[in-house]
Amino acid sequence: MTDPSPLLDVRGLSIRVAGTAEPLVDNVSFTLNAGETLCIVGESGCGKSLTALALMGLLEGTPLRVERGSAMFQGIDLLSAAPDVLRGLRGDRAAMIFQEPMTSLNPALRIGEQIAEAVRAHRDIPRDAARARAAEMLQRVRIPAAGKRLDEYPHQLSGGMRQRVMIAMALANDPALLIADEPTTALDVTIQAQILDLMRNLGAETGTAQIMITHDLGVVAEMADKVAVMYAGRIVEAGTTAQVFDDPQHPYTLGLMSSMPSLAGDQGRLVTIPGSVPSPDDMPRGCRFAARCPFATAQCEAPPPLAPRGTGHAVACWHAPLEDFAVGQRREVPA
C-alpha cells in the first residue's frame, strides 16, 4: 500500500496559537502517492483547513505557528522551506482551491486574464500563449463556450461556473498536488455532482494527487482512495475508503456515521454523539473525544496513539476495535 517514496509525506504536524496549552492541530501524519485522492473529513473546527494552509505555507500573518513536523514533497520540506521557495511552488507544482471562489478570484479582472496570469507567474511564455492555455483550461473544465467566457468577469458566472474557473486556474500549470478545501460545500447537490465528476476525471487524466477536505462522508465515499477522519485537531482514524466505511473502529467515526440519516430507509431515531466539540482553548489533554465517547474509561485520560490495525488502517483509540468493551464500563473522563 505505502509506496517507498510517496509524493507527499507529512509527519507529526502540530500547529499552535502561541501561548496556548494544547496545539490546535496535533501530531498529524499521512502520506499521499501520485494519482491518489485523500479525503480529510471531520466537523467544523477540527483543523482540516489549518492542516491544508500549513502545507501550502499560508499560515503567515495569523497567530498560528507550525510547532513541529515535516512534510516532504518532491524533495522539499513544505513546513520549513523559505517563503520564496513556497511561493514558487504554490500555483505551480502544488495548487489549492477554496470553498468560496469569490474570495480567491479577483472581481476586477476578466477570468481569461486571471488564468493567464497564473500561468505567467510560473512560466516565461508570451501573452497569447498564456491566453491560449487559459482557453484550453476552460474547455477542460467543461465550461460551455469557453472562448467567449475568457472575457467575462467572475460576477457574471454562477457559483458552479466560478468553481470550475478555480479548478482551471489551479490545474493550469499541471500541479503534482492539488488541495481542495470544501470545493463543493456551497453548491447545490446537482452542481456538486458535476464538480465532483470533473475533479475525478481530471485527476485520472492528469495523475494529479488530490487532498480533498470535506465534512460530507458521502463526498468521501465517492472521491477518496484514502480517508483521514479528524476530530479536534487529531487524526482519529485513517485507512482506505473500504476500511473506514466497512470496518470503522473509532467511536467518533461510528458516531459520525450513526448521526447521518440513511438513504436506505427508516432507521428510527438517530443514534447521536452527545455534547459538542471541545473549545480550542480548552482542549482535553487525553483523548480529545473522551467527554463525548460512550466507550471512555480512565485509560482515556492519556492520549491514545494512532496505532496500526492492519495494513494501511490506523485508529487512535485505547479500546479499538471495541469488541471487548463491556457496556457499563464507561467512566466520566475529566477534561
Among 147, 275, 305, 308, binds other proteins (CB under 8 A): 275
Q: Which does 261 bind (CB under 5 to 8 A by kind): ligand ATP, Mg ion, other proteins, none?
A: other proteins
Q: Which of residues 129-188 bind other proteins (CB under 8 A)?
A: 144, 158, 160-161, 188
| C-alpha cell recorded at residue 243 | 476500511
Among 4, 21, 44, 328, binds ligand ATP (CB under 6 A): 44
Q: Which of residues 270-289 bind ligand ATP (CB under 6 A)?
A: 280
CA 94 to chain CA centroid, nearest Å = 14
Q: Which does 17 bind (CB under 5 to 8 A by kind): other proteins, Mg ion, ligand ATP, none?
A: ligand ATP
Piece of 39-47, 76-84, 120-128, 302-310 that binds ligand ATP (CB under 6 A): 39-47
Residue 16 in contact with ligand ATP, rule: CB under 6 A? no
| C-alpha cell recorded at residue 158 | 454562477
Q: Which of residues 61-120 bind other proteins (CB under 8 A)?
A: none
Among 6, 11, 12, 17, binds ligand ATP (CB under 6 A): 17
| C-alpha cell recorded at residue 330 | 464507561
Q: Which does 64 bind (CB under 5 to 8 A by kind): Mg ion, ligand ATP, other proteins, none?
A: ligand ATP
CA 328 to chain CA centroid, nearest Å = 36
Residue 45 in contact with ligand ATP, rule: CB under 6 A? yes
Task: Please state the closest distance from residue 277 (CB atom) to ligand ATP, in A.
Answer: 8
Residue 41 in contact with ligand ATP, rule: CB under 6 A? no
Residue 186 in contact with ligand ATP, rule: CB under 6 A? no
Please give the residue whose beta carbon sits closest to Mg ion in the complex: 49
CA distance 197 to 6: 25
Count, residues in the chain: 335
Task: Please state the closest distance from residue 48 (CB atom) to Mg ion, in A.
Answer: 5
Core vs surface per residue 87-103: b (16+ CB within 10 A) or e? eebbbbbbbbbbbbbee
Among 76, 102, 132, 221, binds other proteins (CB under 8 A): 221
Residue 303 in contact with other proteins, rule: CB under 8 A? no
Task: Please state the closest distance from residue 234 (CB atom) to Mg ion, in A.
Answer: 16
Residues contributing to the site for other proteins (CB under 8 A): 43-44, 144, 158, 160-161, 188-194, 196-197, 215-223, 241-242, 245-249, 251, 254-267, 269-277, 294-295, 321-323, 325, 327-328, 330
Residues contributing to the site for ligand ATP (CB under 6 A): 17, 24, 42, 44-50, 62-64, 215, 280
